[in-house]
Amino acid sequence: MTPYEVTATEVPESTPYKYQGLPLTPNVISELARELLKAPVFRRSQLIGVVEQYHSDNGGAAARSLTSATKKALRNLVDAGLLEPTGAYGYWRWITPPEADVEENGISSVDDERDELDLADCTVVEGTGSGSVYVYYFPSYRLLAEFRRDERWPVKVGMAALGDAKIRITDQQGTAMPERPVVAYVRRSNTPLKLERLVHAVLFCRGRQLDDAPGSEWFSSSPEEVKSIIDWAHAGERP
C-alpha cells in the first residue's frame, strides 16, 4: 500500500452509531476522519468518500454542503494541531497519527472504557471549541498537600483533541491506579494541542515538571494555577 492509499477502520456492527439520523457537520467529519482514515497522507476527495459512505451506511443524514463541511473539518483538525497540508493541492498529512490516538508515551487512549473518566458535576468547564485541555489528579495527593499546607500537588495537564465528554487515562502504563482520579478543570478550545503546549511550557519554565512521573504531562501545580495560565493566554482575545 502506498502512503496515498486510504485505510478505513471497520467498526463492529454491534457498536451503536451515535450520529444516526444526524447530518454530517464539520465536527462529525473531524471525528470520523480520526476513526476511519489511517493512511499518513490522504486526499480530501478520499476523506469525503470514506466518511460519506460510512455515515450513510450507518443511518446518518446527508450534509447540506458536504464540500464546505469537509473544508471546515480540515481547518478544525489543522487548528487542533493534528493535521497539516502537504503542499500538494488537495493532499493532507496527519501530524498526530490517528492509530488509536497514541500519546507521547505510546500508550493507547481508546482501548478500554475503564480508562475513561466522565466529567463530574463539580468539574469547572469553561470556553467553547471542538477540543479541550484538562486537569486531573488523585484525591490523596491533594489531601497530603492540604495536610502539609502546600498550594501545589501532582496534577496531569492533558488534552482531548475532539471534544469528548470523557477524559482518557493514558499514562498509567498498565499499572493499577491507587484510586479514581478527579477531573477538576476543563477548558474547551479549537486549538487544544497549542494551548496544552503553552501551559506545559509555562509550567516547565516555573520548574513545576515532575521528572519521575509517567509521561511528560505531570506537574507540581493545581487546577487554579493552570486556569490562571490559560486565562492569561486568552486575555487579549477579541470578544
Per residue in 121-173, pLDDT tens? Answer: 678 889 888 788 999 988 888 899 999 899 999 999 988 876 454 566 554 43
Q: Which residue has cell 485505510?
A: 7
pLDDT for the residue numbered 121:
64
Amino acid identity of residue 190, one-letter, is N
Query: If pLDDT is split at 50, 70 and 90, which confidence band does 40 have?
Result: confident
C-alpha dihedral, 206 to 194 to 222 to 188, nearest 10°:
160
DSSP of 173-221:
TTPPPSS--EEEEEEEES-HHHHHHHHHHHHHHTT-B-TTSSSS-EEEE
Class of domain 26-101: mainly alpha
Among 72-86, 94-108, 133-147, the minimum mean pLDDT is found in 94-108
Q: Are 126 and 174 in contact (CB under 8 A)?
A: no
pLDDT for the residue numbered 155:
92
Query: If pLDDT is split at 50, 70 and 90, which confidence band does 106 have?
Result: very low
Contacting residues for 158 by C-beta, under 8 A, at least 6 apart? 103, 133, 134, 136, 167, 170, 196, 217
Contacting residues for 84 by C-beta, under 8 A, at least 6 apart? 78, 92, 93, 95
The most confident of the ranges 93-102, 104-113, 186-195 is 186-195
Please determine, for residue 18, whether its predicted confidence score (pLDDT) is greater than 70: yes
Question: How many other β-carbons are positioned within 10 Å of the β-carbon of residue 209?
Answer: 16
Locate the domains of the chain by residue range. 26-101, 113-233
Amino acid identity of residue 25, one-letter, is T
pTM: 0.55
